[in-house]
Amino acid sequence: MKTYNILFLCTGNSCRSIIGEALASTISHGRLIGYSAGSKPKSDIHPLAMELAERLGYSSEKLRNKSWEEFASPNAPQMDFIITVCDDAAGESCPVWPGHPATAHWGFPDPAAVVGSEEQIRHAFEQVEIGLRNRIEFFLELPLETLDSISIKHHLAEIHKNA
């Protein structure tokens, strides 16, 4: 079984991309290695994103805010797939990625922007987790080894549209 590197991008790298990294790494049973980064990373990971990652069994020691530039360098792990999870990051000029990975946009509202009770905020984080989990599970059903990059890109877009 081939292992694939998948990078989740957001602007702040504090919530949605962190959740994507943790989910991809834990629910894929070794098929995916999740990474996350941001175009303008915040100084801290949101506590609810950290809590969610730990609940999934993902080590909090692996989580830190990172700039996407870190993954554009020659020494970085080569990505097979890059998924933007916020509309701001999708619209920004991204670095040139080594290896020309398949890219897609799976946008979600920012759960950290939710104003309300603790229950409402937790619900927003849970909605991002459910949405990303569903998309990653659909993605893992694909016969990645037999698909070309154009087909994979098409499937990534369809997964978001139909999830």
Rounded Cα distance, 72 and 39, in Å:
12
Q: Which one, of 81, 90, 96, lies nearest residue 31 by Cα?
A: 81
Catalytic, 15? Answer no
Q: Kindly name the residue from 6, 9, 10, 112 that is annotated as catalytic.
A: 10
CA dihedral 61, 64, 70, 74 (to 10 degrees): 10
Dihedral, CA atoms, 81, 132, 53, 74, nearest 10 degrees?
10
Q: What is the CA radius of gyration of the chain?
A: 15
Catalytic residue among 72, 76, 94, 140: 94
Q: What are phi and psi of 9, to 5 degrees?
A: -115, 140
Which one from 86, 89, 90, 144 is the annotated catalytic residue?
A: 86
Both structure tokens of 111: 């759960």
Active site residues: 10, 86, 94
